Amino acid sequence: MHPTTAQPGGLLPLLLPVVFIGLAILRNAQARNLVVERLWIMPAVILLLIGLAISRTPPTSTLGILVDVMAFAVGAALGWWRGRFTTITVNPETHALTSKASAAGMVFILVVFAARYLLRLYATESASVLHASANDVSDAILLLAVGLVCVQRLEMWLRARRLLADVRGAVRP
């Protein structure tokens, strides 16, 4: 029997993220309305949920805290970069905003997902070598995701507001 199928759940835990990523890529390939006033909602929900998860089992060592801060910083850098890949357009007549992920942005999603998966696999199997608990590793992965989502939305919000202000400024005499 193949080792993957011998595990509880078989291939399902591996296939679900791939299906989810595929659906996200298809969804992001189409232009969607962008409501600047709502860009804060997803980061707020994620911050709340991840904050609650981490508060239940906070890092117990200085190394754990340092790893969490570094994971958030890496996630923030990746989020800024991913946000820059998103094309934002403004209709000059209606001032309606639309966003669309670029092909590079969609490839970037796959690369981040694969890197995160490989890092999690390595870190959970090598927690003792890394001198980190499984809890520290999972918290760091969660904080990487928090940084990515929150800073991506921040970058998009700043750029969308600037583009909208430019169009509104060009319309006025």
pLDDT at 8 over 80: no
Q: How many helices (H) and strands (E) does the chain have?
A: 7, 3
pLDDT at 76: 96
| Segment 71-110, tens digit of pLDDT | 999 999 999 998 998 999 999 899 999 998 877 777 777 7
Q: How far apart are the first and last CA of the chain?
A: 74
pLDDT at 60 over 60: yes
* 88: β partners: 99
pLDDT at 128: 66
* 152 vs 42: CA distance, rounded Å: 11
| Segment 115-173, tens digit of pLDDT | 777 777 777 677 666 666 767 777 888 898 899 989 999 999 999 999 999 988 875 55
Contacts of 123 (CB under 8 A, 6+ apart): 130, 132, 137, 140, 141
pLDDT at 4: 45
Collapsing DSSP to helix, strand or coil, 16 comes out as helix
CB 84 within 8 A of CB 156: no
- Match 């934002």 to its residue by tokens: 88
Higher pLDDT: 65 or 130? It is: 65
pLDDT at 114: 75
pLDDT at 79: 92
- Match 């809890």 to its residue by tokens: 135
pTM (two decimals): 0.74
pLDDT at 14: 65
* 75 vs 147: CA distance, rounded Å: 4
Torsion of CA 145, 25, 109, 137, to 10 degrees: 40
In degrees and rounded to multiples of 5, residue 4 shows phi and psi of -70, -40
Confidence label for 2 from pLDDT (cuts 50, 70 and 90):
very low
| Segment 44-59, tens digit of pLDDT | 998 998 888 888 888 8
Rg over alpha carbons for the chain, rounded to the nearest Å, is: 19
CB 4 within 8 A of CB 11: yes
